[in-house]
Amino acid sequence: MFEKDNIIKFLYPKNSKKLFEDIFPVPSKLNIPAWYKNLKTTKESPTIKSCMPFLDAITAGYILKMPQDFYVKHNFINKKTKKRDSHFRFGFSKAEPDHLIHRGINMNTHRLQVHPQVQLGKECPFNKKNKDLGYYKVLNPYIIETPPGYSCLFVSLLNNADDRFEIISGIVDTDIYHNHINFPIVINGDKYPHLETTIQRGTPYVQIIPFKRESWKMKIEEYKGDPLIDRLTLLKLLWNNYKNNFWSKKKWN
């Protein structure tokens, strides 16, 4: 099923390549933000561009793109009920809702899926951030498969997230679970108490990081080295110390 190299597969619906090929998943390294690319860094004036842990985070894994335009009107007063409400609508630029349903494609139609806020309990901080309103799900058209023993961590884009919303993170054993994985979203009510916007089709919204399932044990022990000597040794190396002496290049293709 899988070749010698570790391979993550994104399986799109049968006979639907033309519907999705312009928004196929991509390695995260192809989604580095412009502000980061434009940064300059020198010995005299170092910036975060010389921080390899930051770069490793934004280039780890793979990116899912929004499969449809996603119109959001969040936390407004409903004229009929006089209560606070949210309204979501998905666009269909390449396929009509009835067509999607008939073909069994896992995308949002007019029949929206939502998790009530009570499912997260009163103390969950997501509820406050989402203004105590429901969590709407973005349906993902791909089935994701990994080699035996490998799972996937699903998170909002690390160091590069959209400031309007985030997904609720999760881990799925994608070597065993051969089904669609959908993503409830939390509106960033801390920044946008009332939000009306369109999250456009093709907007990166999920970062997927495959990892091997292994058991771990924790130990807390006293450090036996001399922190001062260790610190002085590292200071001698200074410029690009971590990159030149400790960093291992990661490959995500």
The tens digit of pLDDT for each residue in 69-88 reads: 999 999 999 888 888 988 88
Fold of 9-245: Deoxyuridine 5'-Triphosphate Nucleotidohydrolase; Chain A (2.70.40)
* More confidently predicted of 205 and 82: 205
35 residue type, one letter: W
The residue ranges of every structural domain in the chain are 9-245
Q: What are phi and psi of 88, to 5 degrees?
A: -125, 145
- Coil, helix or strand at residue 120: helix
Q: Using a CB cutoff of 8 Å and minimum separation of 24, what contacts does 78-86 make?
A: 84/131, 84/132, 84/133, 85/133, 86/131, 86/133, 86/134, 86/136, 86/187
Are 171 and 210 spatial neighbours (Cβ–Cβ below 8 Å)?
A: no
Share of residues in the chain with pLDDT > 70 (%): 87
- Coil, helix or strand at residue 47: coil
Q: Average of pLDDT values for 60-77?
A: 94
Distance from the first to the final alpha carbon of the chain: 18
> Tens of pLDDT along 23-58?
999 999 999 999 999 998 887 787 888 888 999 999
